[in-house]
Amino acid sequence: MKLGALGLLAASLAGFGLSHAMGGQGAWAWVRAFCEAATVGALADWFAVVALFKRPLGLPIPHTAIVPANQARLGDNLAVFVRDHFLAPDALLARLQVFDPASRLGAWLSEPAQARMAAGMARTWLSQALDLLDERVVREAIQSFVVARLRAWDAGATAGEVLGLLTRDGRHHQLLDEALRRLGGYLDDEGVKERVSDLMVKYARKEWPRIVGTVNLVKPVEGIADNLADRLARALLDELHEVLSRPDHPLRQDYEAWVADYVARLRDDPQLREQIDGIKSRLIDHPSVQAYVQGLWAEIHAALRRNLDAQDSPLARHLEQSLLGLGRQLAANPALREAINEHVMTGARSLAARLREGVTEHIAQTVRGWDERRLVQALELSVGPDLQYIRYNGTLVGGLIGIGLHALVLAFGG
């Protein structure tokens, strides 16, 4: 395009020179008028086009190289133009309100295939998010959180509350009854009686070796021990049956008083609670407990990874059903749609205000940061071809004006 405009300028100069050489009379006068004015028009428009991007012939002529000289101002004006005409909050919100995002989302999620696709996208995003996590930091955070919560936990008060709940409505007496029944069954066992008898004989030999040491007394002592063991077992069994059959038995009353006192001490006794907290602290600081807490993230991470990667996992099915249910709820519930649209509009209003200023500043800074030569080159390549038509038109229109002026001179000047 530049070469074409330069060719027209060269042709007008050649015609101007040739018309002068031929005397400039008759038809050559018309040629000279045309070429002279065309040359002036071509040169003037060349100057105007070049002055937009650079200094003509490198001369420091005022008000030339307009684009690079006003690069910062152009960037600011462009940013303001985009801000006021494309990022106006009222215009954006009006289009968003007409769009009705809640209804469109509900209609889209109501289709099972699309709900499945959305669930798959969500699983992919979550899986990628897992890869972004620093496992060491996460493990340390989980350990710090769990240990801090355990240390802050009032184990004594909790134990008191649990025991208080377990003793409500006489539940602790059921535990006592079951323990007494098991003890009675244990004492009624012949093997237990035999072991008790052996212990008695062993004790008698140790305490009274001279009496038991003679051969003649061994069998009588064993018989006495067997009889005594049997009698003790029967006496204990009778006592156990009496305790089981009498709700007001002294043993039950002592047991009730002991449990109530212990529950109260768990809640109110600082010394007992301090002992429980000491046990709790030793358990927390135990290496096995620390290793378990640190390994929690590995187990959680592995479980999440399995569920996110498997298309038929319980998590995937639950996510798909949840999205499908959300779509159907949105389609059937106008109040829900209105509430979601209101939240979207509120968020969009806040986002538009922040985005508006941020984008404006970004455009202005980007234009200011462009290299001057690259900016000029880019603009010339994008709009330069059309600007060269100005030179074409200037050459031709200038020539036509020259002919018109020559005709006026002949008409009024003779």
**97-149 pLDDT, tens per residue?**
787 888 888 888 888 888 888 888 888 888 888 888 787 888 888 878 888 88
Where is pLDDT greater, at 5 or 255?
A: 5
Q: Mean of the pLDDT values across residues 345-363?
A: 80
CA distances to 44, 52, 66, 221, 290 from 390, rounded to whole Å, are 10, 13, 17, 136, 81
Tally of CB atoms within 10 A around 151: 12
| pLDDT 10s digits, 286-308 | 888 888 887 887 888 888 888 88
Q: Is the pLDDT of residue 255 over 70?
A: no
The percentage of the chain sitting over the pLDDT mark of 90, rounded to a whole number, equals 2
**For 222-246, what is the mean pLDDT?**
60
The rounded distance, in Å, linking the Cα atoms of 352 and 338 is 20
The pLDDT confidence band at residue 11, using thresholds 50, 70 and 90, is very high
Return the pLDDT at 193: 58
Q: Are 67 and 53 in contact (CB under 8 A)?
A: yes
Count of residues in the chain? 414
Is residue 13 within 8 A of residue 19, CB to CB? The reply is no
> Average pLDDT for residues 211-217, to the nearest whole number?
46
Q: How confident is residue 216, by pLDDT bands cut at 50, 70 and 90?
A: very low
Gap between the Cα atoms of 225 and 196, Å rounded: 8
Share of the chain above pLDDT 70, in %: 76
Model pLDDT, residue 10:
92
- For residue 319, the one-letter residue type is L
DSSP result, 175-200: HHHHHHHHHHHHHT-HHHHHHHHHHH
Predicted local confidence at residue 151, as pLDDT: 80
> d(Cα 139, Cα 287) in Å, to the nearest integer?
16
- Is the pLDDT score of 337 beyond 80? yes
- Average per-residue pLDDT for the chain: 77
Q: In the numeric block, which tokens belong to residue 110?
A: 């109501």
> Average pLDDT for residues 146-174, to the nearest whole number?
70
Q: Among the ranges 39-48, 357-366, 378-387, which has the highest mean pLDDT value?
A: 39-48
Phi, psi (rounded to 5 degrees) for 248:
-100, 20
Query: Is the pTM here over 0.85, yes or no?
Result: no
Lowest mean pLDDT among 94-98, 174-178, 248-252, 388-392: 174-178
Tokens read off for 240: 């156990």
Mean of pLDDT values over 52-81: 80
- For the stretch 18-57, pLDDT in tens is 888 888 788 888 888 899 999 998 888 888 888 887 888 7
Q: What is the pLDDT of residue 235?
A: 64
pLDDT for the residue numbered 217: 44
Predicted local distance difference test score (pLDDT) of residue 158: 72
Average pLDDT over residues 171-192: 64
Q: Which residue has the tokens 């060491």?
A: 136
Structure-block tokens of residue 366: 């980007």
Dihedral sign for Cα atoms in the order 294, 298, 303, 304? positive
| pLDDT given at position 269 | 73
What's the confidence (pLDDT) of residue 46? 85
Separation of alpha carbons 161 and 272, rounded Å? 15
Comparing 158 with 15, which gets the higher pLDDT?
Answer: 15
What does each C-alpha distance from 73 to 68, 77, 361 come to in angstroms? 10, 6, 13
**DSSP assignment string, 236-294:** HHHHHHHHHH-TT-HHHHHHHHHHHHHHHHHHH-HHHHHHHHHHHHHHHHSHHHHHHHH
Mean pLDDT in residue range 376-383: 77
Q: Put residue 93 in one of left, alpha, beta given phi > 0 → left and psi -120 to 50 → alpha.
A: alpha
pLDDT of residue 207: 57
Closest CA to 103 of 371, 413, 331: 331
In which band, very low, low, confident or very high, does the pLDDT at 240 lie, cut at 50, 70 and 90?
A: low
Concatenated DSSP letters of 325-355: HHHHHHHH-HHHHHHHHHHHHHHHHHHHHHH
Q: Is residue 398's pLDDT more than 80?
A: yes
pLDDT at 215 over 60: no
- Name residue 284's amino acid: I
Q: Which token pair is 336?
A: 């829900």
Q: Taking residues 229-258, what's their average pLDDT?
A: 66
- Please indicate whether residue 286 or residue 383 has the higher confidence score (pLDDT): 286
Q: Is the pLDDT of residue 406 over 70?
A: yes
**Which of 8-12, 232-236, 354-358 shows the lowest mean pLDDT across its residues?**
232-236
Neighbours of 27 (CB within 10 A): 9
Q: pLDDT at residue 205 above 80?
A: no
